[in-house]
Structure 1
């Protein structure tokens, strides 16, 4: 083991910015730096970026974070990269090849993940019903790489011929760092249909690390990409590696100079950003626990622990990651993917299409939002914190008028408001009470009074479709129970009902996963605002009926996961799960109320309404279809 002056760098390339962070061996962020990047959007559904700009931003950010942290480059023992699942196109010399039909500039050589130009190609690939799609979610998205590559062949033939390397963005970053063209299993399995396990062809389970047997020539030929097969797969990757595998000889001389690090610094095989967020939180353990005292090296023990934990990466949308030792097929859920997140384990990936974005939409479109925004600004609080306070007031005095609510906000200082919120919602942690199963009658009654506010107000949160478990982008949102009230009280109630709807969406997914063979007992949550909203955490734990675990510095989970890739590549940790345990700690655990509590029964009833609303929407559609007969 190295001394205390051992650090690892994690780089997270998101849609709008590059973030670099430097972490110690306990996984604590020492310093970070963020730099914005551009997106070219010249037509609807066309979104492009530049690999040159992104790499320049990565190099600048890493140099800056080292400078800000006052850490010598020699103390950095490994580096890892995570990025969006975007397609990078390079020529034989590793130079950009343009992907835009609207200009001839090679500068724009990335088809961004959210680009939907290849919708038709994705539908044609799905229509083949090829057996590989069984391990690919059964439905190909235009955000995946194969339809994008096919679109280029069919629409930009000259550029298609010039491309020597089709790479996911995270693989491009390791290519720039090491000049290795080895692809990570993570993106090729999840986004390109690569079969990483022999179990997908036989009954054995063996990880492929050094050949091309994972590409299925019949799939590529059937969808119109037979050239990739004839060329021996050289353009999409002839070597793959599990996440965190050391690449080549570490940082090459050119990259080391650009990044401000030492030549030969170990570089780990990369990951898609959401998956890196999963590994950044799933290993979190409590300080002082038996797990911390004896970081287990027992593979069976670690596997069981990870199988019980669902990663919930919450942001604009929400991604859910469930691991298993055997492949589990879940209708409407992507995967199972082998070694896509945790080596030698299978991954089921689901999600909610709009979560943070939906909450923002509901709140900002209410007629009282300008007033809410003004009051929040005056108190130097977030608008959601103020809405939590309104709910707190109404739970104590259900007959308060909107004028009384506003007066109470104006007469209470922000410190007092924050203190009351901390005491009212999700205040109990494992260290304090071993859960809320032993809540007092007053606590339960207070929770029930909060819930009574939405007794007759229900929301179906599919405003932007459903990603899982229905996998239906055409679904839309529904609200039942609207009245004529348009006061700040009605805004608070709508906000609470929307929070609950998002929780029921998560509960539905957990239920479907467990019904199909998963064994989820804990939710591990990361994601900035959602992970710090105590009212949401309380509703989430109570509605699902399992503990919600909040790791320390969870908002930096993706960068931490990337740093773990570097730590494993450096051999500082003997295995990926060991790094996950050592570099992530628990900040708080929110426990649900008891199985027999009235709060639990209330959520059970509202969940039944939630499911019924979906059925009703389908019934409405079927009724309207009769008009076309």
Structure 2
């Protein structure tokens, strides 16, 4: 997973009021809609509310616990998680001051953890090691109890494994299910049904057991219909071979059924953001929302990072992106844009029009983000954790903490400044030049991509007995260079296999590290795009899924007696190929751009940020650029809905007629994917501006040095494996 996230609110209530006042003369407030995003990470749940221009109005976070009674057994509680979700949603609605009737969509993302409940009752099932504690019914993604089961599954060499990098990880969910079959007491396994956490959240919100391709294809071995001849999605042969034949019963009911349309025509497996249903009335009341708020199909958290970043626009021309945008339309414009979602570890996600197999990279997965498009997922198991390890294990760490605190800067900013000073003292050409004879290979926790070898370990050449703060700065520089060189290795492997990658779209707190961003650009030779919301990119992406569901619902032409013709105010603000229209709100200065002040933007000031260029503000639509949106005043374009309007003054306690319910069901039966073009339009119009760190010219001395050190980096990886094999062969003979 992608690690912990910071908790902050994007703009204050006073800023919202200022914006509202500045807009009052233009009568635009009625045209703005709002969406909720929910992100459940390993250690906390978060929620944000955004408007239809992509501004985060409020953000809330609540910690969640995990239990580890034995090594490798890590569990969580779905009840606690839902309570945290409810708290965060109610908080952002309250703090934003947004009327609930204007909140039209909600989206979810979560870690790829396994939720176990009882069929029929949906009561929690204890997943062990304490089988008496039903509160602990989630096996967390990082739980490694199923090592033996994973080895048995991978020994089958089944065709399903071809699409998860050749072998399942112990962190995926089928091995966890197999462990539960082997260990649940009293034949309890036969009474269980299973959800990926993101799918459980959409089920909880809507009452519908619709599953996502993102969760099932990426972590449960599902093959969408047509892939490798799949006719049902789940492979009966595979599940039977690995001893999970019970999961095949009644059309795979405990996994969400087979991948086919129901008799009514509705779909039970969806791509990202597709319309699941309206909020369940009881849940709507619990969350402080209304039942015309619709639920979008959820995704794994890293994929929400992709949704929240790759459509960022920049005023610095990136030629490869410009060329792509000229050649492609709709969601096809997102292909190749690599999202690097960074935290404790880093996930690298790219979409392609056709399946591309890359050694050491998970996937390709079809339909997870858009119908008939494929995704590849690479990753570094140790990035933020690597930097923390290098700092905290060095003898000068205490001194670093004291110096950084005294200067009122972060430890990384202090080290970046220290390196600049050190370069001047040593008359070095640049900071990069300081480490020319330091060769740092940092796979302390094994390698996920592209070597896919958990036995890989760290190696450092060039250490001395120096224990000073300057030595710590150099070790930190070496670790940053390693992260950048390994990113290049992943990008190179993907490119050689057929991906065309024009830029890397970063997110996470590492974006604030100007030195690391510069090294990533110079090592890969690619522009690094930093989004408007750094820490909030994932939960922002989840909110976009809610907007996608709302937009898809609106486009269906569904009518309700709530008298809302919910054509989103997104439509019409931009032309298809990105020609921005002028905004009549430009006269309002920094608020007129629509890109409200945010604590998430841009790295702190370091030498490298001289290469960063910010985008223009995202314009508000003018009055004539939006379709008409009718408020809940009983009027409508359609007389048959107007006469049935029975909205009560309480806001949430309204009645709806059978006509509205039938229209909702008709929409649910008619869900048809547009291959992701609706999602692209939402992403493109709402993501806003990004900042670009451009690589130096290829003949720049630092680029030349880093190119040479990349060859050494590759040799260190290969030599380590060669040495290990040499010793193992000797041991085997002995």
Matching residue of 2:621:
none
For residues 175-207 of structure 1, the C-alpha deviation after alignment (integer angstroms, 9 at most, x for no partner) is 1111100101110000011112424328xxxxx
Structure 2: distance between partners of 1:160 and 1:330: 39
Give the number of equivalent residue pairs.
568
**8 A contact 2:69–2:129 mirrored in 1:** no
Matching residue of 2:238:
219
For residues 308-344 of structure 1, the C-alpha deviation after alignment (integer angstroms, 9 at most, x for no partner) is 3110011100100011100001111100001223443
Matching residue of 1:404:
none
Matching residue of 1:144:
172
For residues 328-381 of structure 1, the C-alpha deviation after alignment (integer angstroms, 9 at most, x for no partner) is 011111000012234431111010110010011011111111111001111111
Aligned partner of 2:375 among 319, 341, 347: 347
Aligned partner of 2:228 among 200, 208, 218: 200
What displacement does 1:618 show? 1.4
Question: CA 1:78–1:287 in 2, change beyond 3 Å: closer, same or farther?
Answer: farther
Structure 2 matches for 1:327-342, cutoff 5 A? Answer: 327-342=355-370
**8 A contact 1:391–1:492 mirrored in 2:** yes
**8 A contact 1:458–1:481 mirrored in 2:** yes
Aligned partner of 1:388 among 416, 420, 442: 416
Unaligned runs of 5+ in 2: 1-27, 258-267, 552-567, 571-676
TM (normalized to structure 2)? 0.75
**8 A contact 1:98–1:159 mirrored in 2:** no
Matching residue of 1:16:
43
TM (normalized to structure 1)? 0.87
Question: 1:153 aligns to what SS in structure 2?
Answer: helix
Aligned partner of 2:519 among 522, 539, 561: 539
Is 1:114 the equivalent of 2:142?
Answer: yes
Matching residue of 2:432:
451
Question: 1:55 aligns to what SS in structure 2?
Answer: helix
Question: CA 1:222–1:2 in 2, change beyond 3 Å: closer, same or farther?
Answer: farther
Matching residue of 1:563:
543
Structure 1: distance between partners of 2:352 and 2:49: 31
Matching residue of 1:255:
283
Is 1:527 the equivalent of 2:554?
Answer: no
Structure 2: distance between partners of 1:316 and 1:341: 24
Structure 2 matches for 1:49-68, cutoff 5 A? Answer: 49-68=76-95
What displacement does 1:307 show? 2.3
| TM-align CA RMSD | 2.1
Matching residue of 2:669:
none
**8 A contact 2:306–2:339 mirrored in 1:** yes
Structure 2: distance between partners of 1:42 and 1:480: 39
Q: Which moved more, 1:303-312 or 1:228-237?
A: 303-312
Question: CA 1:380–1:191 in 2, change beyond 3 Å: closer, same or farther?
Answer: same
Is 1:372 the equivalent of 2:388?
Answer: no
Unaligned runs of 5+ in 1: 203-211, 400-445
Q: Which moved more, 1:222-231 or 1:492-501?
A: 222-231
Aligned partner of 2:683 among 580, 585, 593: 580
**8 A contact 1:244–1:568 mirrored in 2:** yes
What displacement does 1:305 show? 3.3
Structure 1: distance between partners of 2:223 and 2:29: 37
**8 A contact 1:252–1:264 mirrored in 2:** no
What displacement does 1:264 show? 3.0
Aligned partner of 2:693 among 590, 595, 606: 590
Question: 1:234 aligns to what SS in structure 2?
Answer: helix
**8 A contact 2:511–2:517 mirrored in 1:** yes
Structure 2: distance between partners of 1:163 and 1:476: 42
Matching residue of 1:241:
270
Question: CA 1:525–1:284 in 2, change beyond 3 Å: closer, same or farther?
Answer: same
What displacement does 1:484 show? 1.8
**8 A contact 2:70–2:129 mirrored in 1:** no
Q: Which moved more, 1:609-618 or 1:507-516?
A: 609-618
What displacement does 1:585 show? 2.3
What displacement does 1:302 show? 4.0
